[in-house]
Structure 1
Amino acid sequence: MISDRKRRRAARRIKPGDGRPLKRFRWWQPLSRTLFHLELTGAAGERETWSVDVRLWGDSDGEVRAQLYRNGEHHAGSKLPAVFPVPGGSIEVVASNYGLRRCHFVGDDGSVRQLTPDPTSAEGRRARLERTRPGLSRTIGVVSVAILVVALVLGVPQIVEEISRIPPVAENLGTFTSPIQLPGWLNITLVVAALVASTERAMRLRYHWLLDGGLFDGEG
Structure 2
Amino acid sequence: MLKDWRRSRAVQRVQPGNGRSLKRFRWWQPLSRALFYLPLKNDDGRQVVYAIDVNHVQRFLSDNGKGKAHLYLDGRHHAESKLPAVFAVQGGTIEVAPTAFGLKRCHYVTAEGTEHQLIPDRGSGEGRRAHLAREHPALSRWIAFCSLILLVIPLLLLIPQLIEVVYKFPPVTQRFGTFTSPIHLPGWLNITLAVGAAAAGWERALRLRYNWLLDSMAKG
- Post-superposition Cα deviations, 1:40-76, rounded to whole Å, max 9, x if no partner, equal 0123221011000111232696251100000110000
Unpaired runs of 5+ in structure 2? Answer: none
* Residue 24 (structure 2) pairs with residue 21 (structure 1): no
Q: For the structure 1 residues 160 and 76, does the alpha-carbon distance in structure 2 shift closer, same or farther, using more than 3 Å as the test?
A: farther
How far the C-alpha of 1:130 sits from its partner, in A, is 0.2
* Residue 150 (structure 2) pairs with residue 147 (structure 1): yes
State how 1:165-204 maps to structure 2 within 5 Å: 177-204=180-207
Instruction: Give secondary structure in 2 for the equivalent of 1:3.
Output: helix
How far the C-alpha of 1:179 sits from its partner, in A, is 2.2
How far the C-alpha of 1:157 sits from its partner, in A, is 4.0
Partner of 2:215: 212
- Post-superposition Cα deviations, 1:189-215, rounded to whole Å, max 9, x if no partner, equal 000000001110110001111101189
- Post-superposition Cα deviations, 1:5-64, rounded to whole Å, max 9, x if no partner, equal 111100110000000111111222211211100100123221011000111232696251
State how 1:41-190 maps to structure 2 within 5 Å: 41-58=41-58, 62=62, 64-158=67-161, 177-190=180-193
How far the C-alpha of 1:98 sits from its partner, in A, is 1.2
- Post-superposition Cα deviations, 1:100-150, rounded to whole Å, max 9, x if no partner, equal 000000001221100000000000000000000000000111111111000
Unpaired runs of 5+ in structure 1? Answer: none
Instruction: Give secondary structure in 1 for the equivalent of 2:210.
Output: coil
Q: Distance in 2 between matches of 1:199 and 1:36?
A: 17
Identity of matched residues, %? 52
The answer to whether the Cα contact below 8 Å between 1:51 and 1:68 also exists between their aligned partners in 2 is yes
The answer to whether the Cα contact below 8 Å between 2:71 and 2:78 also exists between their aligned partners in 1 is yes
Instruction: Give secondary structure in 1 for the equivalent of 2:189.
Output: helix
Amino acid at match of 1:196: A
Aligned length: 212
